[in-house]
Amino acid sequence: MYPPLFVLKPVADNIWLADGPAVSYFGLPFPTRMTIIRLENGGIWLHAPVAFRPQLLAQVQQLGPIQHLVTPNWLHYAYLQEWQQACPDALVWLPPAVQQRALSRHLTQQADCELGFAPDSLAAAGWPAEVRFLLISAGAHQQNSSHQETVFFHQPSKTLILACLIENFELDKCPLWSRPLFWLAGNVDPDGKAPLDLRWRFRHHKGSLRSAVLQMLAWQPKRLILSHGRWYSGHVMAELLRAFRWVK
């Protein structure tokens, strides 16, 4: 959907994208995208790994040693094991709900650390100080949430990184048969936002999400990278207010 695939695409100083192939989710084709950040120590932080390819690994390793593999939510762990096997020295970071989901699918996801609700407590575990994060839960019980997602903010480049809380599908890049379904889900460019099923999951937990949106706005991001669909290279504050207007 976003060729060329498995190729690094520069975004800003020390930050790149790599688009992967579409994956099937409830029969719909979802484009995939991972974000690569070169940290101040020269190491690489890799978010939402796409399908593994040796040539993509080689491109990333030319930037620096891969130190962190990050999965933002329970929908983005499918390729983590392959990257983990190829990068045995990298720390693996998962939200609490991801390991439960993986085990239910008979996959073993080995996490070095969980991305919990207290970011400052992870500094001693090796979390890079220049990447802030928020763990957002659509449930009263953190470990049994119906949806749990971690959003990230790279402070030097003022880049906000989201997985599924905003999806922004460009219909001309989607198969004809899928377009009405994406339109019904409400996650179509230029009015991309959380899909209908995710908004339903948060229907009783809008307060926590509202607080998270206020924090995203307080970071004053200059760009917003999405895992699914067209991402935003400008007017990010306005796009956040528009995309999360349903949270009011």
Measured CA to CA in angstroms, residue 81 lies from 18, 92, 108, 149 at distances of: 18, 10, 8, 19
Max CA separation in the chain (angstroms) = 49
pLDDT digits over 144-158, tens only?
446 889 999 999 999
Does the structure show a pLDDT above 60 at 240? yes
Residue-wise DSSP of 68-111: EEE--BTTS-TTHHHHHHH-TTSEEEE-HHHHHHHHHTT-----
pLDDT (0 to 100) of residue 63: 98
Q: For residues 137 and 114, give the distance between their C-alpha atoms in angstroms, rounded to a whole number.
A: 14
Helix ranges, 9-48 (H): none
Nearby residues of 133 by Cβ (< 8 Å), 6 or more positions away: 115, 119, 150, 151, 152, 153
Please answer whether residues 69 and 63 qualify as being in contact, where contact means their C-beta atoms are separated by less than 8 angstroms: no
Please answer whether residues 54 and 6 qualify as being in contact, where contact means their C-beta atoms are separated by less than 8 angstroms: no
> What value does the mean pLDDT take over residues 121-149?
77
pLDDT confidence tier of residue 131, bands split at 50, 70 and 90: very high
According to CATH, the topology of domain 8-247 is: Metallo-beta-lactamase; Chain A (3.60.15)
Question: What's the chain's average pLDDT?
Answer: 90
Nearby residues of 130 by Cβ (< 8 Å), 6 or more positions away: 39, 40, 154, 155, 156
pLDDT digits over 47-67, tens only?
999 999 999 999 999 999 999
pLDDT (0 to 100) of residue 119: 59
